[in-house]
Amino acid sequence: MTELTEPEVKLEALLNIINSSARQAIAEYKKTGHGVPSADATTFHPLDMATDTLALRKATRLLEGAYHQLSAILAPPQHTVMNFVFDYNWACTNVALRAHFADVLEQYPEGLSVDKLAEAVDLDKSKTARVLRALSLMGCFKEVKRDVFTNTRLSLILKSENNTGCYAHFHSRDISKYAGVLYETMIDQEFSRSHEVEKAPRVFACRKEGKEDSFWEMMKKDDERRDIFHRGMLGYSEMMGTSVILHQYHWDTVSSVVDVGSGIGAFSMPLAKMFPHLRITNHDLPEVMVQAQNAWEKHDPDALLDGRVELVPNNFLEDIPAAGKDVYYLRHIIHDWRDAEATTILRNIRKAMGPNSVVLIHDCVLFHTFQEPGVGTTDGLSIAPKPMLPNFGAGSHGVYQIDLTMWFLLNSKERTLDELKIIAAAAGLALTQVYDLVGTMVMEFRIAQS
């Protein structure tokens, strides 16, 4: 028997990871009692909407990272590189979202002809068919007969009622436009060296269209765009599986929580329902607190009536939050801001903390493909098995795309764990624990001991 070469040994190891991670994912689906999802499914699997899918997400991260790495090794490099560029799925997805393909097809579970679908959405028939065929290659829509299409489990995300679909809408319509001027901003004298929000690629792209409004001013003037954005932020949380923290942190051992930059309560509302013993303070700007009042009165009025939840206006760049609480939680807050502002936010929280208080920063965390000696052994970072890239490669695709999104939109960024530790240290905080939730991480900080 011929002995395997070192490259072949690595290929076999990747194949083993693909096999074992796929079987782990299958096992997670079977645990629900509903079996594995079908490629032809026209309904969601119960696990698709579950809030605690950490095991499935870990298996998926391994699976995606390993098979992309295997493909990059075995496929001709011309093929792989052009696959980076030949990807117009975002444009086709945007058409499907804005024309409401999935909403129309929902009324025809046996399928609808392209002719009738195009007529229903007032688009050209042949062009509609080309969009549908491109997406159906990826399992989004299915051609059940010649020129007859139905929804699939993937295309259901594109229905107008779906929050993740709103996030896809925001990205495919707006962020793609800002990405299109990236190189121009990197060589422009005014924009290239600046990290100010006023010099983000979004601003450059909008100026080319004669628009000078800030991102938030743009949102205020366009009701539809604002609704898509806010619902999209809920979809972003669903996509990133941020609700896993409801199950992975020891909330039963704390009594009070401050949700800093809470919005209308996307995190604190399910937290209050799962842990009714908690006293929760929501902090955000006054106009947001008005929206939050309406949301809580609609979805959980008892939490307000019995005093378990308080809605307190607060500007985290200027004000000190409610004092002496057990947990100060910040979800997708720090990544919006430059280091100076991020440090200010944490300093204000530090002033409010009691001796046993903790700060939980819930964000994406970047981990480079080159592994420094010792990294991950003490900080709680998960490291992929060899021969995978230590940061899981394409299994971490979403994290690095979100980092680019923050750049394009606000000239901000996701950070490495070391960068977050430096910011926290400047505010008098020290890292004590990391919770790897796949896609996002929750980092626990306490008052630094002098």
Query: Residue type at 22?
Result: A
Roughly what angle, to the nearest 10 degrees, separates helices 223-240 and 163-170? Answer: 110
Write the pLDDT tens digit of every residue in 300-350. Answer: 999 999 999 999 999 999 999 999 999 999 999 999 999 999 999 999 999
123 φ/ψ angles, rounded to the nearest 5 degrees: -130, 160
Task: Give the whole-angstrom CA distance, residue 140 versus residue 143.
Answer: 10
SS3 126: helix
pLDDT exceeds cutoff 60 at 375:
no
Pair 281, 260: CB distance under 8 Å: no
The answer to whether the beta carbons of residues 150 and 111 sit under 8 Å apart is yes
Q: Are 291 and 231 in contact (CB under 8 A)?
A: no
Q: 40, exposed or middle or buried, with CB in 10 Å at 0-12, 13-18, 19+?
A: exposed
Helix, strand or coil, per DSSP, at residue 212 = coil
Across 219-241, average pLDDT: 84
Give dist(CA 110, CA 114) in Å, integer: 13
Q: How many CB atoms lie within 10 A of CB 322?
A: 18
The pLDDT tens digits of the residues spanning 272-299 come to 999 999 999 999 999 889 988 998 999 9
Please tell me the pTM assigned to this model. 0.92
- pLDDT for the residue numbered 377: 47
**How far is residue 353 CA from its own chain's centroid?**
29
Q: Roughly how many angstroms between the first and final C-alpha of the chain, as a whole number?
A: 63
pLDDT tens-digit profile of 30-47?
A: 999 999 999 889 999 999
Q: Using alpha carbons, list the distances in angstroms from residue 152 to 25, 145, 235.
A: 20, 14, 19
